[in-house]
Structure 1
Amino acid sequence: MNVTRNSGLWMALLGGILLWAGWPSSPLTLLLFVAWVPLLYLADTTGSWKKFFGWSYITLLLWNVLTTWWVAKASVPGGIGAFLANSLIMCLPWLAYFFTRAHFNRFLSGVALIVYWMTFEWIHLNWDLSWPWLTLGNAFALHPNWVQWYEYTGAAGGSLWILLSNVLVYHVLLRYREEGRSTGYFKLAAAWVLTLGTPIILSVFVKQQLTLLHNKYNVVVVQPNYDPWDTKFAAGKEEMQLQELISLSQKQIDAETALVVWPETAIPYTVLEDQLRENLFLKPLWGFLQRNPHVNLLTGLEGRRLFPTRVSRFAQKLPDGGFVEGYNSAALFDSTSVQIYHKSKLVPGPEVLPAFLSFMGPVFEKFGGTMGGYARDTTERVLHTTNHTFNITPAVCYESIYGGYLSRFNRKDADLICIVTNDGWWGDTQGYRQHMQYARLRAIESRKWVARSANTGISCFIDPYGNIAQQLSWNKQGTLKQTLAAFVSETFYTRYGDWLFCAAAVSALAFLLILLYKVILYKKRPLKKSS
């Protein structure tokens, strides 16, 4: 049975709407357990791969636009390009599934779809055009009590849960259409119900006891609330902004305060990282720390380093013949020294461009980026407080959506996750809400406290079970103080990272190799002569 053009269009639209309606911060998360069914139906009822590609592209484009439309508030051309490109890439696992169906039975084809999609998510976490915002496992950020087992699987487990549910419910519907209320139908229906319920029940039993490293200390996060389109980078207001950050911090700290956290690029100057002590504009900051020698300060800053020769493709040539690299950094200050981590998971476009897109550098520079892109750290750099209280996993901007990447810091004995971000570029939209909610999943995966400082909100503290202990609302200036514990418990996910994504990728490769073999074998078979 071939689907008609009108019904195909309606099914494609339905799939996109279901995916959007179930995404954070919507409370309709359960819709995601059936949201892929329209595309599964179209794969079975569309005879041409070109038509199926069109239907799947409509579904995925609608999902991208409705869920992440706010990206275009920073750059309309950049946002449109991201929607079109990301939706196109997302079609690849579905096209692979479409061709797989012709050479495998229904069960194995469903397994193939699951591992194809998970492989796509894994790749999308690990290349320069990375945009894993719509990783399916992120969808449970509003329901941390459903996914306490993320300490074993990470977000990949949530992706598997959603995909398996969709494949099973589709097969339940097919079995009902073919056999009615048969024994096989009831068995499949029972399997689907177990798939939905078992992970939630399991979450009740996996909350482990955490090992405390030492006494608890309080941490202060500051939310300055500077509009990045107007106030934050306005010339002539830098000194006022720095003084206000210091004043907000000073009002909250006490004798038990170990750490103060400021947001991304909170230092309102572009600074040479090897001359921070000599920088006259930073004298108020050093004065604040010298008055409070028991306090460490973690802040975002935009840094530069000078080199006599080109050290990377990100280095820009200077008029004097030297070169300069730029960084989006997190810096941990005490009263006499500073440790620096350079953001490594860079935003495609404004912060990094693959070499083949370098010609677009001037376009993205207009939207807060750099001509050559930021350089990055090549290793996970844990920041150690000099008051011997915390070993910090620094997550700058949207690095907090990379669970596997942060697990590598935690593997190096980090015991506190600090997120410094801006989130003001997109205004009062779903963007900053989704970003904050995703941080709850990082807490569960690592069983660590999260201290989150966001320039315009939402700043918050999240406990090791994904619960929000305190938060500041959007577009509000203020501070939060929370007593935190440094937990040293190592989770399975901390130790092995994205092992489930890796297993899916190996399985997907096996499917594709077998598929290729079958296609070649099919083409070599001689045609039977008609009698």
Structure 2
Amino acid sequence: MKIAFLLLMMEAMKKRDILLSLLSGILLVLSFPSFDLEFLAWIALVPLLYSIEEKGLVCSFKLGFLTGIISFLGILYWIIVAVHTYGNIPLILSALILLLLVVYLSLFIGAFTYLTRLIQNRSGLQTILFTPFLWVALEYLRSFLLTGFPWANLGYSQYLNLPFIQMADITGAYGLSFVVLLVNATLFWVLHQWSKRVFPFKEVIVTAIILLCFLIYGYLKMGVIDRQMIQNPPLKIGLVQGNIDQSIKWDKSFQIETLKIYEKLSSKVAEEKPDLIVWPETATPFFFQDAKEYQPLVLDIPKKTNAFLLFGTPTYKIQKGKVNHYNSAYLVSPSGEPVGKYDKIHLVPFGEYVPMQDLLFFIGSLGEGIGDFKSGKETFNFSLQQGKFGVLICFEIIFPDLCRRFVKKGANFLVTITNDAWFGRTSAPYQHFSMATFRAVENRVFVARAANTGITGFIDPRGKILKQGGIFKEEAMDGTIRLSSQKTFYTLYGDIFAWVCSAFSALLLAYALFQRPKKY
């Protein structure tokens, strides 16, 4: 079925155009972790733009869709591992879930090429003048449509390019996608005009100025942040990576052993006298709130270490006679008293709940690993004597607007706890970790990350990874962060840049639709 579908899709396209489309997909895959060839993102879409030149709308959509299929398959292949290996869903159904997600995400790139040709054909505008706005608008739409999945946004490929990503404290990561796409569109236009023996000086100069502004701002801002960090009050944090095997994590006979592992690692990080010790998501594989046998063991650890303890745990509430489960985080004081709880707001589709249950009623019965959680209702900042911090549980760290709300409400740093054991030894843990760097830059706060099987680490407000552990190994990591109290433009106002791009794209599309189409 899948092969036949692809063959039908390719019928109207020339081999050269198909190869160019495939090339763009491959270059996008190589731009992201764990390949980390981020420089390829600056040219990745040039072949695709070249392939749709002078093409009809349907053909352009197909070429963009094909690029999406290749790129998202290469980036998100690990979903089969998570759903099949750990979700216990049959391999065929797991492949179907991956394919459905990839097809859905590929529609956005297909829409990009379709709308690019539509606007070109009806307005006569050059690609370079509007495609960056259109790309950002579609990325922004993808971030919230059908609960949102802003994974592998174009700008995220640049997480190691520190000077360039500093502008995210104003534009968010969408501004980075804008410039990367602008460079791609400019290079395409240079090649297009070169065949006519013309060099587009104006377009190249404008693009160079914009890119230079981003880089100059980045270098200057990094120096400012360096000086500010020294002046901000310090806080010592110990991160614990238990490396608990997902296949036995929920086995009742292994619960005591799990706590012993966390106690051992907590004692190790306590040697550096941290103010806060952090365990990963669902570190306690039981309901902490009423686990009479295990609760005293957990509460005893902050007493022994004389540090606050933050840990993930499943919780429940009885509401209107119904038991609702939550993915939560508790903070316990050095005296052994729980002093706060946060319930995860943005849940993972198929991992923590089944979307469209009326339609996909059979999924829950097929996978023992599929959870059934309810979403928390509000952001909540935990308080220490030194300051406040917000907690993002797993998937939540990829949503910039959610993260900024914690900082806007007074968080001086962010903690993200996760259990990436679901991903296995794939590129997913590296992709997931890389996105946390942008939350640090956007809000100019330190980010501390504790993961069950990795990657555990510290990220500073410049987006620089200060410490990074390995995967599938026990880790006891200490670090000193600085507490920030300043609010960035992005923290205060959010995705205004993405809104502007979306509004411009909508107006331009409306204008184009009222113009008489040219013949293809």
- Report the 3-state secondary structure (helix = DSSP H, G, I; strand = E; otherwise coil) of the residue aligned with 1:134: coil
- Report the 3-state secondary structure (helix = DSSP H, G, I; strand = E; otherwise coil) of the residue aligned with 2:403: helix
What's the TM-score, normalizing by structure 2? Answer: 0.88
Q: Supply the AA of the counterpart residue of 1:39.
A: L
1:345 corresponding residue in structure 2: 346
Specify the structure having the higher radius of gyration (Cα). Answer: 1
Is the Cα contact below 8 Å between 1:212 and 1:486 reproduced in 2? no
1:282-326, Cα deviation, whole Å (9 max, x unpaired): 12012223444x42111111111112x2xxxxxxxxxxxx21111
- Report the 3-state secondary structure (helix = DSSP H, G, I; strand = E; otherwise coil) of the residue aligned with 2:410: coil
Q: Supply the AA of the counterpart residue of 1:445.
A: E
Query: Pick from 283, 293, 303: which aligns with 2:296?
Result: 283
Is the Cα contact below 8 Å between 1:24 and 1:142 reproduced in 2? no
Report the CA distance shift for 1:518/1:188 in structure 2 as closer, same or farther (over 3 A): closer
Match status 1:52 vs 2:60:
yes
Is the Cα contact below 8 Å between 1:242 and 1:268 reproduced in 2? no
1:80 corresponding residue in structure 2: 99
Would you tell me which structure has more helix in proportion to its own residues?
2
- Report the 3-state secondary structure (helix = DSSP H, G, I; strand = E; otherwise coil) of the residue aligned with 1:45: coil
Query: Quick one: distance in 2 between partners of 1:210 and 1:367?
Result: 49
- Report the 3-state secondary structure (helix = DSSP H, G, I; strand = E; otherwise coil) of the residue aligned with 1:374: coil
- Report the 3-state secondary structure (helix = DSSP H, G, I; strand = E; otherwise coil) of the residue aligned with 1:133: coil
Unmatched 5+ stretches in structure 2: 1-11, 84-93
Is the Cα contact below 8 Å between 1:72 and 1:79 reproduced in 2? yes
In the TM superposition, what is the alpha-carbon distance from 1:365 to its structure 2 partner? 6.5
1:132 corresponding residue in structure 2: 150
1:212-257, Cα deviation, whole Å (9 max, x unpaired): 78742311000001121x2322231112101221221023215842
In the TM superposition, what is the alpha-carbon distance from 1:138 to its structure 2 partner? 0.8
1:421 corresponding residue in structure 2: 418
Q: Supply the AA of the counterpart residue of 1:162.
A: V
- Report the 3-state secondary structure (helix = DSSP H, G, I; strand = E; otherwise coil) of the residue aligned with 1:237: helix
Is the Cα contact below 8 Å between 2:279 and 2:312 reproduced in 1? yes
In the TM superposition, what is the alpha-carbon distance from 1:460 to its structure 2 partner? 0.8
In the TM superposition, what is the alpha-carbon distance from 1:68 to its structure 2 partner? 1.8
1:303 corresponding residue in structure 2: 315
2:459 corresponding residue in structure 1: 462
What's the TM-score, normalizing by structure 1? Answer: 0.86
Match status 1:516 vs 2:513:
yes
In the TM superposition, what is the alpha-carbon distance from 1:158 to its structure 2 partner? 0.8
Is the Cα contact below 8 Å between 1:168 and 1:192 reproduced in 2? yes
In the TM superposition, what is the alpha-carbon distance from 1:135 to its structure 2 partner? 1.0
1:105 corresponding residue in structure 2: 124
Query: Quick one: distance in 1 between partners of 2:221 and 2:59?
Result: 45
Is the Cα contact below 8 Å between 1:459 and 1:473 reproduced in 2? yes
1:231 corresponding residue in structure 2: 248
2:109 corresponding residue in structure 1: 90
1:375-424, Cα deviation, whole Å (9 max, x unpaired): 22232211223xx1231121111211222221111111101110101111
2:6 corresponding residue in structure 1: none
Query: Quick one: distance in 1 between partners of 2:206 and 2:128?
Result: 15
Identity %: 26
Of stretches 124-133 and 187-196 in structure 1, the one that deviates more from structure 2 is 187-196
1:314-346, Cα deviation, whole Å (9 max, x unpaired): xxxxxxxx2111111222222222412121222
- Report the 3-state secondary structure (helix = DSSP H, G, I; strand = E; otherwise coil) of the residue aligned with 2:302: helix
Query: Quick one: distance in 2 between partners of 1:282 and 1:91?
Result: 52
Alignment of 1:108-507 (within 5 A): 109-178=127-196, 180=197, 182=198, 184-207=199-222, 208=224, 209-210=227-228, 215-228=233-246, 230-254=247-271, 256-271=273-288, 275-276=289-290, 279-292=292-305, 294-307=306-319, 309=320, 322-334=321-333, 335-355=336-356, 359-360=360-361, 362-363=363-364, 366=367, 368-370=369-371, 373-385=372-384, 388-507=385-504
Over the residues paired in the alignment, what is the CA RMSD in angstroms?
2.5
Q: Supply the AA of the counterpart residue of 2:294.
A: F
- Report the 3-state secondary structure (helix = DSSP H, G, I; strand = E; otherwise coil) of the residue aligned with 1:339: strand
Is the Cα contact below 8 Å between 2:128 and 2:185 reproduced in 1? yes
Is the Cα contact below 8 Å between 1:221 and 1:479 reproduced in 2? yes
- Report the 3-state secondary structure (helix = DSSP H, G, I; strand = E; otherwise coil) of the residue aligned with 2:221: coil
- Report the 3-state secondary structure (helix = DSSP H, G, I; strand = E; otherwise coil) of the residue aligned with 1:493: helix
Q: Supply the AA of the counterpart residue of 2:72.
A: N
Query: Quick one: distance in 2 between partners of 1:205 and 1:360?
Result: 54
Is the Cα contact below 8 Å between 1:296 and 1:333 reproduced in 2? yes
Aligned residues: 492
Is the Cα contact below 8 Å between 2:62 and 2:110 reproduced in 1? no
Is the Cα contact below 8 Å between 1:452 and 1:461 reproduced in 2? yes
Report the CA distance shift for 1:177/1:364 in structure 2 as closer, same or farther (over 3 A): farther
Of stretches 438-447 and 25-34 in structure 1, the one that deviates more from structure 2 is 25-34
1:63-113, Cα deviation, whole Å (9 max, x unpaired): 001122112111233223222222124322332222222211233x54433
Q: Supply the AA of the counterpart residue of 1:249.
A: S
In the TM superposition, what is the alpha-carbon distance from 1:266 to its structure 2 partner? 0.4
1:315 corresponding residue in structure 2: none
Report the CA distance shift for 1:8/1:367 in structure 2 as closer, same or farther (over 3 A): farther
Report the CA distance shift for 1:270/1:85 in structure 2 as closer, same or farther (over 3 A): farther
1:416-448, Cα deviation, whole Å (9 max, x unpaired): 110101111121111111211221222112211
Of stretches 126-135 and 205-214 in structure 1, the one that deviates more from structure 2 is 205-214
